[in-house]
Structure 1
């Protein structure tokens, strides 16, 4: 299996984005992080950003819908250490600069979406759960993960 594909576990998907750098940050009604592989992380609902290895500071809540995302600009140039999509619809990203980005499922909207470099895609479904498309992994067809 290619390093850039998804790895499924009982309660989560590992999005193999490790070692990729944030090369562009876009802000409109969403916050989009573009990685050097071409992978794209889009957040459309409020999410939390914490900083520091021990994460003792209170998380900062950022809301892309009102362009309140200034704290996320510090992710520019950061390297992804870990990217996990939980089957409950939450996502956790960890960066080499000590930042942790956490997004939960939204009751009414798709809170976030990640599109990988080989065409795989994971979307947080409204009210929880994930929609998962594995991409170009042979003849595998699109899969939809049940709510976690």
Structure 2
């Protein structure tokens, strides 16, 4: 592996935000019926559709909860993850989210109803599970 680490484009592009729950974690449920769930547990930078930047540290997401809830109804237009840079999301509303890599903790993970999963492990390395075979 190079110093650049791995880069993945997450399959949540095109999914609409159905629900946002902000508390000790930030959970964003996507699709209908909740086809994907993004769980954020690291520091978060949120760019509002108006161009303002808000910050939340791990466990303090309720502080920007109402702003995060404004994502409901927005569609993900970009969802990139890097083992070095972290998670970057863009929405059709103009809002953005960035979650950097954390050296000691899992900073984010996305799970699909189909069993697929991508987790940012401590230090940024990805753990990736493919979708379950349907039989």
Scaled by the length of structure 2, what TM-score is found? Answer: 0.81
**CA distance in 2 between partners of 1:119 and 1:108 (Å):** 26
CA contact (8 A) 1:41 1:114 kept: yes
* Alignment deviations for residues 78-131 of structure 1 (CA, whole Å, 9 cap, x no partner): 111111121326111110000111101112111111112421111111122211
Q: Which residue of 2 aligns with 1:145?
A: none
Out of 97-106 and 121-130, give the one that drifted further. 121-130
**CA distance in 1 between partners of 2:98 and 2:125 (Å):** 15
**CA distance in 1 between partners of 2:40 and 2:15 (Å):** 18
CA contact (8 A) 1:81 1:96 kept: yes
Scaled by the length of structure 1, what TM-score is found? Answer: 0.74
- Report the 3-state secondary structure (helix = DSSP H, G, I; strand = E; otherwise coil) of the residue aligned with 2:63: coil
**CA distance in 1 between partners of 2:90 and 2:133 (Å):** 26
Q: Aligned pair 1:136/2:124, yes or no? A: no
Q: Aligned pair 1:121/2:135, yes or no? A: no
Q: Which residue of 2 aligns with 1:98?
A: 94
Q: Aligned pair 1:14/2:9, yes or no? A: yes
Structure 1 residue runs without a partner (length 5+): 1-9, 139-148
Structure 2 residue runs without a partner (length 5+): none
1:29 equivalent among 24, 29, 42: 24
- Report the 3-state secondary structure (helix = DSSP H, G, I; strand = E; otherwise coil) of the residue aligned with 1:48: strand
* Count of aligned residue pairs for this structure pair: 126
Let me know the Cα RMSD of the aligned residues: 2.3
Q: Which runs of 4+ in 1 moved over 6 A?
A: none
